[in-house]
Chains A and B, each alone.
Chain A
Amino acid sequence: MTQLNNGITLFFSLLIEAMPFLLIGVLFSSLLLLFVDEQKLLTVIPKNVVLAALAGSLMGFMFPVCECGNVPVARRLLSKGAPTAVAIGFLLAAPAVNPVVFWATWIAFRDQPEIVFLRLGFTLFIAVAIALIFSAQADMRPFLQDNLTRLMGSPQPAPVEPEVSPLLRSGTFLMQAPGQVLQLDAPPAQVMAQATTVQPPLVARLPLVVDNMVLELRELGAVLVIGSAIAAFVQVAIPREVILNLGQGPVTSILAMMVLALVVSICSTVDSFFALSFASTFTGGALLAFLVFGPMIDLKNIGLLLTVFKGRAIVYLFLLAAQLTFLLTLVMNLYTG
Chain B
Amino acid sequence: MTSTPQANRSSRPAARRPVPWQALLDAAMLLLWGTMMLRFAVTGKLYLLLHPDYMWLAYLALALLLAMGIVRLGQVGLSYRQGRAVSFRSQEHIALLPRQLSVGLLIAIAIFGLIYTPRPFASETAFQRGITDVLGQTRSRPQQFSLGGTSGDRTIVDWVRTLNVYPEPDAYQGQTAKVTGFVTHIPGWPENMIMISRFVLTCCAADAYPVGLPVELPAGTAPPAADTWLAVEGRMQTTVLEGKRRLAIGSATLTEIPEPRTPYEY
Contacts and interface: CB of A to CB of B under 8 A. Distances in A.
**Do these two chains really belong together in a complex?**
yes
A218 B205 contact: no
A195 interface: no
A318 interface: no
Nearest to A68: B96
Interface stretch (B2-10, B65-73, B146-154): B65-73
A323 interface: no
A12 B113 contact: yes
A184 interface: no
Nearest to B72: A214
B103 interface: yes
B121 to A, nearest CB: 6
B11 interface: no
A46 B33 CA distance: 45
Interface in B83-125: 88-97, 99, 101-103, 105-106, 109, 113, 116, 118-122, 124-125
A280 B49 contact: no
B203 interface: yes
B60 interface: yes
* Secondary structure type dominating chain A contacts: helix
Nearest to B58: A16
Nearest to A17: B204
A216 B91 CA distance: 11
B57 A20 contact: yes
Interface string B30-65: 100100010010000010111000100110110011
A219 B96 contact: yes
B119 A9 contact: yes
Central interface residue in A15, A21, A110, A231, by most chain B CB within 10 Å: A15
B89 A225 contact: no
B137 to A, nearest CB: 8
A280 B209 contact: yes
A218 B50 contact: no
Contact of B90 (A8, A23, A215): A215
A156 interface: no
Contacts of A14: 204, 206
A218 B94 contact: no
A9 B48 contact: yes
B26 interface: yes
B206 A273 contact: yes
Contacts of B101: 222
A208 B89 contact: yes
Contacts of B96: 68, 219, 223, 300, 303-304
A208 B49 contact: no
Contacts of A276: 203-204, 206-207
Contacts of A212: 90, 93
B26 A218 contact: yes
Q: Which 6 interchain pairs have the tightest Cβ spacing?
A: A13-B205, A222-B102, A277-B206, A20-B61, A20-B57, A13-B49
